[in-house]
Amino acid sequence: MTDLRPSPTPSTTTPATAPTEDRPPRTPRWVWLFGIVVGLFLLAVGAFFVVSGDHGAEAGGGVHGAGNDPSSVERATAPDVLSPAWLRVATARPTLWPITVPVAPGAAGTLCFVVSCPDGEPLTEFTDTEAPAARTSRLFLDFQVGGQVRTADVTLEASAPARAGQDARSADREPTRCGR
Amino acid sequence: MIMPTRLRKIALTVHVTSSVGWLGAVVAFLALDITAQVSNDVETVRAAYLAMGTIIWYVLIPFAIAALLTGIVQSLGTVWGFFRHYWVVFKLVLTVVATLLLVQYSPTVGDTADVAASIADPRGLPSFFLHSVGALVVLLVLTILAVFKPRGTTRYGWRKQREQQRRQDRRRKTTVPQMQQG
């Protein structure tokens, strides 16, 4: 049996590896195309962050606090016994902040704070019992975001619970808790 | 710092597993997100949000970081390097961006899951569809790059290749005559 395969030792006259050209290789076309796509993607991501950041700054402040400033309260429901309430706060990015600090009923002390749960669902209504003539009330909600307590001020129409949030219904309510 | 074959294969296995696991978790996340948006059943929607909160913290982030770190190990420990081939550069950039976006976005998902756990009706909470689809596309592109390894060396890679080739040629030229003498 003779081995017909060529000798594994390379000959000294011809190098085993082809000599490389002295010029660097051309950049393949896919690199350009793909680079453009990736670049556009990165630009879009960057633009998203810039635009959403600007939006947060433009939208006028209703909430006082540092950091990722929530700029306005879109919806407020008061915390009740069964389930913590939540606020939708307009920020740079749409975020829901659960309220972990109980709501302080109106600073003036005239605002009564009524929570009712007719069928187990937390429903919330703010009523101004001591000054029924007043149509609007100012609420100061303390809520905690990432360990930092912030205050949001919300203006609600006292006798228009629908303004307080989507959950507000006109069903009979039983007051469960009242502020000072 | 080239790894020995066995170690390299173990590292590669970990890299492939975590990367493909990340892709799978994104698909699962997307399915949950669609469920949360489409379903009318309060408890189904709540469960979907809770599951998304769990997946993002305990599956997506660990897999993403593992994929990034094992990818770096692959680059350091093999001849592919970081900046020698265009496809490796693209993979590195896209993985870093995807991981950063994921880490940046996860508190939002976690907060929403917390809210979904506590409110009476979690329907209508925000959707994560755009982010999920974006992640899916990026991860698919990364997988395709990894499998096809399209040609194209950077100038740096080309210089390194030439250096290596010269070194090899020199070694051959010196060893072959010695063998003939012996």
Tokens 């096809």 sit at which residue?
B148
User: Beta strand A123-127 with A112-116: parallel, antiparallel or unpaired?
Assistant: antiparallel
How much is the pTM? 0.61
**Chain A interface includes B24 (CB < 8 A):** no
3-class DSSP assignment, residue A155: strand
- Give me the residue from B115, B126, B162 closest to A86, CB to CB: B115
In order, the DSSP letters of A37-99 are HHHHHHHHHHHHHHHHHHHHHHT--SEE-SSS---EEEEE----SSS--EEEEE-SS-EEEE-
Distance in Å, alpha carbon of A28 to nearest chain B alpha carbon: 6
pLDDT in tens, B106-165: 998 998 898 888 887 888 888 999 999 999 999 999 999 999 999 989 999 999 888 888
* Eight-state DSSP code of residue B123: T
Instruction: Tell me the average pLDDT across B58-79.
Output: 95
pLDDT in tens, A84-119: 334 333 333 333 333 332 333 433 333 333 332 233
Instruction: Enter the ipTM.
Output: 0.81
Residues in A closer than 8 angstroms to B93, CB to CB, are 38
Q: Is A12 within 8 Å of B173 when comparing Cβ atoms?
A: yes
Distance CA A67, CA A82 (A): 31
User: CA dist A95 to B31, B107, B114, Å?
Assistant: 21, 9, 12
pLDDT in tens, A136-173: 445 555 544 455 555 555 554 433 333 334 343 333 33
Q: Is A17 within 8 Å of B90 when comparing Cβ atoms?
A: no
Distance in Å, alpha carbon of B66 to nearest chain A alpha carbon: 23
Rg (CA), chain A: 32
Q: Averaging pLDDT over each range in A52-61, A170-179, B45-54, B164-173, which range is the top one? A: B45-54
**Chain A interface includes B119 (CB < 8 A):** yes
Region of A67 (left: φ > 0; alpha: ψ -120 to 50; beta: rest) is left
pLDDT value at position B176?
A: 58
pLDDT value at position A151?
A: 57
Q: Which residue(s) pair with A149 in the sheet? A: A144
Q: Which residue(s) pair with A101 in the sheet? A: none
**Which of A33-42, A149-158, B73-82 shows the lowest mean pLDDT across its residues?**
A149-158
- Give me the residue from A12, A27, A96 closest to B112, CB to CB: A96
Residue B24 has pLDDT above 90, yes or no: yes
Comparing CA positions, the residue from B22, B21, B23, B49 lying closest to residue B35 is B49
Tell me how many residue pairs between chain A and chain B have CB atoms under 8 A apart: 76
Instruction: Tell me the average pLDDT across A64-80.
Output: 38
Asked if A139 and A84 count as a contact pair (C-beta separation under 8 A), the reply is: no
